[in-house]
Every structure is written in structure tokens, then in C-alpha cells.
Structure 1
Amino acid sequence: MRQSSLVVVSNRLPLDDSAARDGACEWRRSPGGLSGALHSILQQTPATWIGWAGEMDLAPRLPDLGSVRLRSVALSAEEQHGYYEGFANSTLWPLYHDAVQQPVFQREWWDTYRSVNQRFAEAAAEVAGRHAAVWVQDYHLQLVPTMLRELRPDLLIGFFMHVPFPPPELFMQLPRRVELVHGMLGADLIGFQREQAGHNLAQLARKLLGATATSDTIEVDGRTVRTGAFPVSIDVDEMRALATRPDVVRQVKQLRHDLGESKRVLLSVDRLDYTKGIEHRLTAYRELLRDGHVKVGDTVLVQVAVPSRERVESYQDLRDRIEGEVGRINGEYGRVGEPAIHYLNQPFDRSQLAALYRTADVMVVTPLRDGMNLVAKEFVAAREDGSGALVLSEFAGAAAELSQAFLVNPHDLDGLKQTLLRALEAEPADLAARMSAMRRHIAEHDILAWARAYLTALDHTGRLARQLG
């Protein structure tokens, strides 16, 4: 088997859902997702990507995806339930997002999570060349760094947490807290979106493992583990080019016509997830309609909710609640042929998203908690004309970078309503100044800058960063 000098390990391979069935390999992109973040930097970089291909019980041989070799890991339906739907997304995900939803602890899920992490570690050990770099991604695979180090101590191991990492008082609720912290600390470098997450890990390492820790290093098992903040970003040039493509421009004109040429358009694009604050947003919009601050004749909300984790019961319940609320709002305030809210529960391709970004007057990104939120950055990149307003939750990682947005606490419904009105009524000069500053920032801090910063910190020789071109 060919071995690689750079190996990426994630829960899913970056493929569309038909890849395992017919071998047609195309990049799978979702709003704000991991494959979207890594797509641009890996499509021209020789690497091997390890992950699940999307089909139960299968580990198909897949053709290369550009310069990336794909290595699939098999998961049974039972493993998918216990590892992914169970421990990763019913235990860790809610806890890591400030327990917005009550975490569920089931002992058998842990055994499955551990065994699946071991399988991913063994796959990485097999394909990684001597002294290769292995870059492990996210909370699904927190045990892999230490498991991999036990198998291949020669490797350079990086771990990146794309989601928030909670404060000790929340993390300490986990029954398997010691194993999870120790699993991460098998890495040479642990990257987070925000500095505070590194401080949280240091406190836990001291408390649970008796480790010596500073603001950016943790001494454990005779090794020094480094931590740091590396805010993830987007391919700014790609989104700019996409937003100005003739077919996208035509889509924008058609959307404007369909929504109403004179209407103010508010847009939200989220995965269907309880952390995204969709219900809070709908409540705020309903009250604005009720109080007459916005009217169906002059304003419309477009809510895109991309399906997510549809087999998890809490997500099914969320979808039912959101669809019920949209129906109530449209039933009470809509008119024939003129709904108050256009609700779309379906995937969108990149060109459709770019057209929506360009159509919106106000982009509403109000998660209750989010590691970063790349949709906010995509919206800014798409606004080549310098117009448009961004309403952004202060609990999204992106708020630390896009400080010129209209920042808001989404838990404060009155504050959310006032902020939406401020954005709708802002002067064009104010909006242009805000957008110009945000566009400058993301141009200087794009996806390539993120990858170079992380890989340079991981490998001080600069070899990995040079591979990115």
C-alpha cells in the first residue's frame, strides 16, 4: 500500500452520498462544514484522507479525489448508532455547545466510540509514511491521537477541534472525562478556534491528570503538548469568483423577482441543529410581524435549514417544531402567494448559496453557540458590491473576527429584534464601511492562511506548509 507524508483523519470522507454506491467521486460540501474548510487546501495537495464513505458495512475502494487518496473505514449500523448518533452527537455535541440540549449518557455508547476510534487510528497508522504528519479532525475522534501514538510513535500528530471546547465545570459531567482528555493529549499540537478553549483543556489536564500546564503547553507522559488558537476560514477567492459568475448573477435576478423586487430580504442558512438558534430567530421575527415593525408586504425571511443527523430523535423533534412554527407564522401573517417566511429544508449547492448570499439585504447568523460559523464569512466574501448587513451572534467564533457585524445575544429576544431592525434600517454608508472592514479581514485570513498557520506550528521545518503551494 502506498504511504503518505500527510494524512487527514475525519469522521466522514468529503464525498457526496452516492460515492460508495457508484464510485463517482465529487467533493461533498455543506454550509460551514469540515469538508468545505479543507476542500480548497487539499484538492491540490498530495495527501491521504481517512474516513467513513457513507454506506453501512462497506469500506469501498475509491478513486483519487484530485491529488487526495481516499481510504474508507467501515462502520456497521450498530456502530454508527453508538459512536456517531450516540456518544459523539448525543453526549459530546450538546455538552460542547454549553449544554443547550441536555446531554445523554449511555455506557454502551462509550465502548463503541472507543472501538471505532481504534479502527481509525489503525487505518492512519497503516497509510502514514515514516515520520509523516497525521492531522486528526474534531470531537468524533478525540481518542485517536493517543491510540495512534501508541501504534506509531514516529509520527507527527496534530488534532484540531472545530467545535467549542467547554469549560471544566461542564466537561467534568462526562463519565469518561479522563480518557477523553488523555486521548487528545496524544497529539503534538492541539488547535482550537478560540484561545479560551486551550485554557479550558489546560485546567482539565491539571485537574484530571496532574499535568503541568501553561497557557499554551501541557506536560504529560514525559512529552510537551502544545495548544493554540487557529480560527478556521474559507476560500475567499473561490466564493468571490462564484458570486460573480454569469449563471449566479442570473439566479440573483430571478430570486429578486420571485421574492419581490422592492422587498427587504433577510436570509439565514444553517444546518438543522438546535445550536443554531433557529427557534429563537423565528420567535423574534414573529414578534416583529405582530408588532407591525415589519410587514409581509415589504419584508421577507428566507430560512434555509439543511438536513442534519436525521436519525437522531432530538433532531427529528427540532424539525417538527420549526416546521410547525413556520406554518403558524405563515398562517397568521402570510397572504396568498406571499408568505412571511420561505422555509427550505434541503441541501443547496455552492452556486445556489452564492446567489442567496448576494440576494439578501440582511444575513442573520444567530447560533446559540458555534465554534466558528463559516456561513458568515461566505456571505461577506460573496458581497462584491460592498453592500448588505450581517447580524451575527456574539457566541459564534466568527464574532471575534467580524466585529463590524451587528453583534447580538440571540438569547435576548428583545435585543435580537432591535438588532434586526437596526440592520434593516442602517444607512448605506454605514453598511459599506462595515462590509469593507470585514472583507479586508477575511481576505487576509483565508483558508490557506489558516492551514499554513496550523501546519507551520505543527511542523517547524516548514515542509508541510510548503506542500500547500
Structure 2
Amino acid sequence: MIRGRRYGLIVAADRLPPADPDDARESVDAALASLRPLVAAQSGAWAPAGGESGGDGVIGVAPPAGADAAALGARLLHSLDHHRPADFPAGWFDSYLSVNRRVAAAVAASASGAATVWVHGHQLQLLPRMLRRLRPDLTVAMHLHCAFPPAETYARLPEHRALLSGLLGADVIALPHHRAVDNLLDLAGRVHGLPVRDGRIAAGHRGVRVIAYPLPADTAAARRLAALPQLRAGAARLRAALRVTGPVLLSVAGWDPADAVEQRLDAFERFLAQHRPAPGTVALLHVACGEPRTPAEHGQRERVERLIAKINGSHASVGQAVVHYVRSDPDRRDLVALYLACDGMLATPTHHGAVAAAHEFVAARGELGATVVASESSSTAAALPGAIVVNPHDAIAFAAAVARAAGVGGPPPPARDADAPPAPEVWARRLLTAVQARAAATPAPRGVRTRRLPAAPGHTRPGGYAAGWAPLAARRAAGR
């Protein structure tokens, strides 16, 4: 075997982030890009699952046949984590397994002795256990940036045993909030019968620590970009093009139904029907990011576009829309220009730990003042004093929140950050410190025994963890 360069820190992710965080198209890309200085300072490397060729600091991973199916499976897992029904296509798991195997082989061959591997993304949930088998000397952190669903939802997926086995190969699993942590612990303990105590899952003779560690909003970058004259000039041009004399509310979202775009539009339509503002005195600017990929996302686009057409058909005048709709893929510079051009923001997902864009909106606007309508399902509401908090499923209350943000009945309340979030590089360094401290701690006692449960519907014997995914294809072939 030809030995190449070895690395003490490897970030295995579903993508290779941009070199400049300001080129990032979403908060996850920006957070991953912010890891680049830390990885470079430790002479580390990236192992992207997307098939990027190797180079300086990049471990090449050739994509297998069916890589698109694996990526779709990862997208559907993301939907499942947001409590959305997901129809997984036949054969997705075989492709998913193949991608994980290729990344595992590349990382195992490139990691130095006792190296640290940071695994990020839904496409690599099997990777920690594979690395545990190939290289038991490695320290592995598994980071998922979005919610983890309730045990009952996750257990409906036939492959949930293999996915949990993969996750439990890590030393530390980092999730975005405590509700997600509780859901994973419940799945491991109540459904799979693994001993769970004090935020730790006993997996064989090992203990896996599960922590809440959300991605931080890069508010410092938002303030830095907002001060650039060219961005301020671009925002002024955008605002002039809207031709709105009153408040403009901003909505930025992808196509995931959990972003509650339909609820935002419905609330805005109710507000218009109740208060009848003259065209040109208030508007909603909705920016739809990226392209839909799953059937649920394609359905979301069709419904959103019909609803926008309906609202403008009922409330707009010639040459003056009330909902301005843009399908785009803005980077952080574009987003900050949008923040400066608008007065308020609707940040109301149904299932999220935090909404980074809301914090960045407040930071970018600074002394201009910012109004935020936040979801009570999100921790953003508690972290932004002055935010108008609403249940996005309560149509009447949501419409009242929109009216308040539009200044009906008095000036809207200004939102502010309760505490400055840590810089992304500080956030990453703290997680690595926690992971490495966990690896240096005393291992779980060898006397820990797995609690066995009867083989009943809805329960999985602990042997499902030990068996992992190896017998999965055989079970399927046998029709079991």
C-alpha cells in the first residue's frame, strides 16, 4: 500500500466549503468555511463526499455509482429530521452505504495516529462506526446542524438501526439543541434498549456523549459587510427599485416545507385583507434559495408560486406588487445587501434550533433598527429580545404579528441580540477541545451490560447495534 501524507485533523463533510466564507450560499457553508483557518493551522485536511478531486489539504474521494441517490437520501433524512414525511427511493441506502465506505477508506488511509476526525452532514451518518472499525485509535466527532426527530418518527425508517449504529461510533455527537439531544437519547434508550445516563449512551464498552451545540450566527461578519460602501450602495438601489414608501418585510428560505414559507405568505395575505394598505406602502420580499430536490420540495415550490400569484392578483396594482418574489442563490454579500434594504424579517420555521439569518439581520442593520418575527418553536425567539414571537401554525396570531411588524398601531419593537454569539472559529475550537477531552477521559466501565428488551413491535434488541448494517441487504432479500 502506498502511503501518502498523514493528517492529525480531518473534516469529513458532505461538501467542500468555499475558501472565503463570504462566498457561502447558506449558514452551514459559512460555518464550514470558517473552519478552514483552524484546519490549516493544524495542518489538517478535508474529505468531501461530493467527489471533489484531491489537492492541497483535500483528500480525494471518488464518487461511486449512485452518488446522486445517496445525496437524495441525505436530503430526505434532513426532511425527516424536520418532522416531514419522506419517501425514500428504492436502493437509496445501498448508494448511501457506498459513499460512506469510500469516505471511510480515504480518511482511514490519510489520518495519522490518534488523529481527530470531525464528521459533518446527513450524508455521512454511517461514517463514525466505519472509522471505529478501521481505525479504533481515532477520535471522532459527529456534528449534525439540524434537528433530530422524535424516536417514533425515526424508528419508522427501516434503516434506523444502521443509522444509529453509525452515529454511535463517534466519541461525541453534537446536535443543534436540547430537544434534539433528548430525541436521540430516547431513541437509543427506549427503542434500542441501550443504557443512557447523564447525556451519555453506552455502546458496548464505550460511552458516547451527546451534547447540544448549535451553529453560531456570524454576526461579526454581518456587521463587517454592512459597513462596506459598495454593499450600502447596492442596498439603496434595491430599495429604490422596490418603490415602497413604508416597511418592507424580508423572507429568505429554501424549499424545505419546515421553513413555513406558506404560513408566512398566508399570514401576509390575511394582514392585507384585514388592513387594506395602499399598494406601495408595505411589501414582502421573498427570496427563495437554491433549487428543490425532493418531491416534497417540488410540491412546496408549486404551492408557494401559486399563493404569491394569488396574493398579487388580489392586492397589487399595475406596476406595484405587494409580494416581490426572487428565485436566487445569494451569497453572504447579497444577503447583507438584502438585510440593509428591508426593515423587518420573518424568521419563522416550524422545526429549528436557531435561525442564524435573524441574528445576522439584526447585526447588519445595527443603528438602523431591525424588526424580527420569530417562531416560538425556535431558540432564536429567546435569544433576540424584542422579537415578535408567534406560533407559525396559528394563522390569526401570525397575521397580527405581521401587522405589528408593519407598524400598524405603533412603531414595531426593535430586536437585539441578548448575547454576542461566539465567532465560528471559537465555536469550532471549543467543540474540538470537548471532543479531545472526551477521548482522553477514562473509558466506560467494562462491566456495563446492555439492557435487553423483548422482541416486540417498536423495539429493537441491542443486538441490532452490534449487527449494524451488515445483514441489512440479506434481510431485505429475504423479505424481512
Q: TM-score, normalised by structure 2?
A: 0.84
User: Which secondary structure does the structure 1 equivalent of 2:152 belong to?
Assistant: helix
Of 437, 440, 456, the match for 2:433: 456
Of 54, 57, 61, the match for 1:61: 54
Alignment of 1:39-438 (within 5 A): 39-43=33-37, 45-46=39-40, 47-53=44-50, 59-62=52-55, 64=56, 69-76=57-64, 78-81=66-69, 83-85=70-72, 87-90=73-76, 92-99=77-84, 102-260=85-243, 262-308=245-291, 310-385=292-367, 387-425=369-407, 431-432=413-414, 434-435=415-416, 438=417
Cα-to-partner distance string for 1:308-331 (whole Å, 9 max, x where unaligned): 3x4433322322221222122222
User: Which secondary structure does the structure 2 equivalent of 1:166 belong to?
Assistant: coil
Over the residues paired in the alignment, what is the CA RMSD in angstroms?
A: 2.4
User: Which secondary structure does the structure 2 equivalent of 1:163 belong to?
Assistant: coil
Moved more, 154-163 or 453-462: 453-462
Tell me the CA shift for residue 391 of structure 1.
0.8
Give distance in 2, aligned partners of 1:293 and 1:31: 35
- 8 A Cα contact 2:348 2:375, kept in partner: yes
Q: 1:76 to 1:380 in 2, by over 3 A?
A: same
Q: 1:209 to 1:384 in 2, by over 3 A?
A: same
Give distance in 2, aligned partners of 1:187 and 1:179: 14
Q: 1:334 to 1:293 in 2, by over 3 A?
A: closer
Cα-to-partner distance string for 1:191-224 (whole Å, 9 max, x where unaligned): 1111122222222212344321113111111011
Structure 2 residue 9 is matched with structure 1 residue 6? yes
User: Which secondary structure does the structure 1 equivalent of 2:437 belong to?
Assistant: coil
Letter in 2 for 1:80: D
Cα-to-partner distance string for 1:141-200 (whole Å, 9 max, x where unaligned): 111110111111111100011110111121221112221111111100111111122222
**Equivalences, count:** 433
User: Which secondary structure does the structure 1 equivalent of 2:361 belong to?
Assistant: helix
Alignment gaps of 5+ in structure 1: 16-24, 464-469
- 8 A Cα contact 1:268 1:302, kept in partner: yes
Tell me the CA shift for residue 396 of structure 1.
2.9
**Identity fraction in percent:** 33
Give distance in 1, aligned partners of 2:426 and 2:102: 32
Cα-to-partner distance string for 1:23-51 (whole Å, 9 max, x where unaligned): xx76651233x221122232354131111
Partner of 2:456: none
Give distance in 2, aligned partners of 1:426 and 1:52: 49
User: Which secondary structure does the structure 2 equivalent of 1:165 belong to?
Assistant: coil
Partner of 2:477: none
Q: 1:385 to 1:200 in 2, by over 3 A?
A: same
Q: 1:385 to 1:228 in 2, by over 3 A?
A: same
Letter in 2 for 1:235: D
Alignment gaps of 5+ in structure 2: 441-480
Give distance in 2, aligned partners of 1:325 and 1:77: 39
Cα-to-partner distance string for 1:367-399 (whole Å, 9 max, x where unaligned): 122243221121122122150101111223433
Letter in 1 for 2:83: D
Q: 1:428 to 1:351 in 2, by over 3 A?
A: farther
Give distance in 2, aligned partners of 1:430 and 1:26: 36
Q: TM-score, normalised by structure 1?
A: 0.86
Of 17, 24, 28, the match for 1:29: 24
Letter in 1 for 2:343: D
Q: 1:403 to 1:387 in 2, by over 3 A?
A: closer
Tell me the CA shift for residue 106 of structure 1.
4.1
Q: 1:106 to 1:430 in 2, by over 3 A?
A: closer
Letter in 2 for 1:60: S
Give distance in 2, aligned partners of 1:41 and 1:221: 32
Give distance in 2, aligned partners of 1:377 and 1:429: 20
Partner of 1:467: none
Tell me the CA shift for residue 295 of structure 1.
3.6
Tell me the CA shift for residue 105 of structure 1.
3.8
Partner of 2:443: none
Letter in 1 for 2:25: S
Bigger Rg over Cα: 2
Give distance in 1, aligned partners of 2:329 and 2:439: 38
Give distance in 2, aligned partners of 1:131 and 1:10: 20
User: Which secondary structure does the structure 2 equivalent of 1:98 belong to?
Assistant: coil
- 8 A Cα contact 1:138 1:163, kept in partner: no
Letter in 2 for 1:7: I
Cα-to-partner distance string for 1:338-362 (whole Å, 9 max, x where unaligned): 1111101111132221111122111
- 8 A Cα contact 1:166 1:197, kept in partner: yes
Give distance in 1, aligned partners of 2:11 and 2:410: 44
User: Which secondary structure does the structure 1 equivalent of 2:318 belong to?
Assistant: coil
Q: 1:279 to 1:381 in 2, by over 3 A?
A: same
Give distance in 1, aligned partners of 2:423 and 2:411: 26
Q: 1:297 to 1:426 in 2, by over 3 A?
A: closer
Q: 1:327 to 1:412 in 2, by over 3 A?
A: same
Give distance in 2, aligned partners of 1:143 and 1:75: 16
Tell me the CA shift for residue 296 of structure 1.
2.2
Give distance in 2, aligned partners of 1:142 and 1:295: 51
- 8 A Cα contact 2:286 2:326, kept in partner: yes
Give distance in 2, aligned partners of 1:59 and 1:391: 39
Tell me the CA shift for residue 426 of structure 1.
7.8
Partner of 1:38: 32
